[in-house]
Amino acid sequence: MTVTAELPQAERRSVHANGIDIHYLEAGEGEPLVLLHGGVVSTNPIWTGVPIAYASHMATLAARFRVIAPDTRGAGKTVHSGGTVTFDLLADDVAALTDAIGLDRPLVAGFSEGGITATVVGIRHPGSVRAIANHAGYDAFDAQAPTIAMMRQTLGGSPDATEADPDAAARFFSQSTEMQGVFELMKADEDSGQGEGHWREYLRLAFPRLTQPPGYTVDDLGAITAPTLIIVGDRDEFCSVEEGVRAYRALAEGELAVVPRTGHIITPALVELMVEFLQRWS
């Protein structure tokens, strides 16, 4: 089924894995690349043109790889079956997906939340992936990172929040036209994928994993056997360069790329750096 003008062969597919039906977008040919989206977005082409999503870069990536881009459990069209959605569970979803569709040690890349998941895959399933690109998704492994308090404020309304408050999140995103636009797209995306009002449930599902440590620290990155790229913009408000250096130095086979004058976004320059790294391990 065609989903974008730029990708006439892109198809929406689903596979039953790890107890759920995982919906994913597939495009391109060559070495398989499992591409993991960040928080509040999905693989829906509605995100084309928004710099926190891979949608605008799918043509670039599909020209080099066979891209398999799943909707995270509870987001987009992938329905969660109940219980807390942890990063361990998301990593196991990725491993089960790759097994179900017969991928042999694929490349894995992710932005922000997707970068965290990609890294946990490397920790929990050593030897299952060929290389990992973590784009601005390493802050969760640093206990001193400010991200947890930031996400509690964003999704729960205060730095001490213990559960999601969708109305408080709506007020937070209304602080700027750009943020409000992202929020409205998220609502439209989630509600079209899983029914009216699902955006509230999505925030409730995301809150626990985004507002507490994932159960791993920077030291655990040393257990990753796959070559791993840490990539970030020097003005990223969530992932600092200093945290990136610590993550890079903890890796057994790591690389570090810092792009100047860039925040917590996906740009063509960042994508090209990621592609160059992944192609070396294809």
Domains plus CATH for the chain? 11-145+216-280 (3.40.50.1820)
- Across 61-180, the runs of DSSP E, i.e. the strands, are 66-70, 107-111, 131-135
Q: Is the dihedral of CA 240, 246, 252, 254 positive or negative?
A: positive
Q: What is the C-alpha to C-alpha distance for residues 206 and 107, in angstroms, rounded to an integer?
A: 25
Give residue 2's pLDDT.
32
- How much is the pTM? 0.96
The C-alpha atoms of residue 49 and residue 14 are separated, in whole angstroms, by 25
Q: Can you read off the two tokens belonging to residue 225?
A: 């056997």
Segments in the chain below pLDDT 70: 1-8
Predicted pLDDT at 83: 95
User: In terms of Cα–Cα distance, which of 78, 102, 6, 88 is closest to 45?
Assistant: 6
Q: What pLDDT shows up at residue 144?
A: 85
Q: What is the pLDDT of residue 162?
A: 97
Cα gap 137→112, rounded to integer Å:
4
User: How much is the pLDDT for 88?
Assistant: 98
Task: Tell me which amino acid residue 182 is.
Answer: V
Tell me, what's the pLDDT at 9? 72
Tell me what pLDDT residue 3 has.
37
Kindly list the strands in the beta sheet with 254-259, ordered across the sheet, starting from the edge strand earlier in the chain.
Answer: 11-17, 20-27, 66-70, 32-36, 107-111, 131-135, 228-233, 254-259
Residue 83: Cβ-neighbour burial (10 angstroms; 0-12, 13-18, 19+): exposed
